[in-house]
């Protein structure tokens, strides 16, 4: 027999042995693994059933009910506090004009009520009324009279 044929025969027998060993190992692991998982869950089920069917002491039941009540109370208080908290305004993009007392947006030059921002933490844009001048409609504050509005507007646009 030629050495080349001997090497091929030897490799075939080696690989067939390895393949059969791998297959038998996988089958063995599956059988023992499935059995151990089954035993684990069977024992877990028995211990849970025995715990659920045993009598619970009265003090444990009362303490569990009290813990549940305290938890529910604290959760409702926390949710009520978060809904009633006023929003925090970010006034970084606004300049305060002290004489009339309103805020001016840096980019759009829109005017906002200083009273509403200071007291109520809300942004209300000022509007111009021909009879009352520059006013805040929600709170009613008047900032500039109709006669002074044009001169105030020109002064602000010249300054900026």
**Separation CA 44–CA 32 (nearest Å):** 18
Q: Which one, of 128, 101, 133, 106, lies nearest residue 116 by Cα?
A: 101
Percent of the chain, pLDDT > 90?
12
- Residue 26: the pLDDT is 86
| Phi (first) and psi of residue 91, to 5 degrees | -105, 30
pLDDT tens for each residue of 93-142? 888 887 777 888 888 888 888 888 777 667 778 777 667 777 888 887 77
Cβ contact 105:93 at 8 Å: yes
- The pTM of this model reads 0.37
Cβ contact 103:119 at 8 Å: no
- Residue 72: the pLDDT is 94
Domains of the chain, residue spans = 3-84, 94-159
pLDDT tier at 34 (50, 70, 90 boundaries)? confident
CA 2 to chain centre: 75
């Amino acid at each position: 027999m030629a050495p080349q044929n001997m090497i091929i025969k030897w490799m075939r027998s080696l690989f067939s042995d390895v393949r059969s060993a791998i297959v038998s190992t996988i089958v063995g692991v599956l059988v023992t693994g499935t059995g151990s998982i089954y035993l684990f869950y069977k024992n877990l089920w028995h211990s849970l059933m025995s715990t659920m069917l045993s009598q619970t002491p009265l003090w444990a039941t009362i303490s569990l009910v009290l813990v549940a009540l305290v938890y529910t109370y604290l959760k409702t208080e926390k949710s009520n506090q978060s809904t009633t908290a006023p929003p925090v305004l970010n006034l970084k993009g606004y300049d305060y004009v002290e004489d009339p007392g309103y805020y001016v947006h840096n980019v759009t030059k829109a005017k906002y009520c200083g009273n509403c921002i200071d007291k109520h933490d809300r942004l209300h844009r000022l509007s111009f009324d021909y009879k009352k001048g520059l006013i805040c409609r929600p709170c009613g504050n008047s900032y500039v009279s109709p006669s002074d509005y044009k001169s105030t507007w020109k002064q602000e646009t010249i300054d900026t």
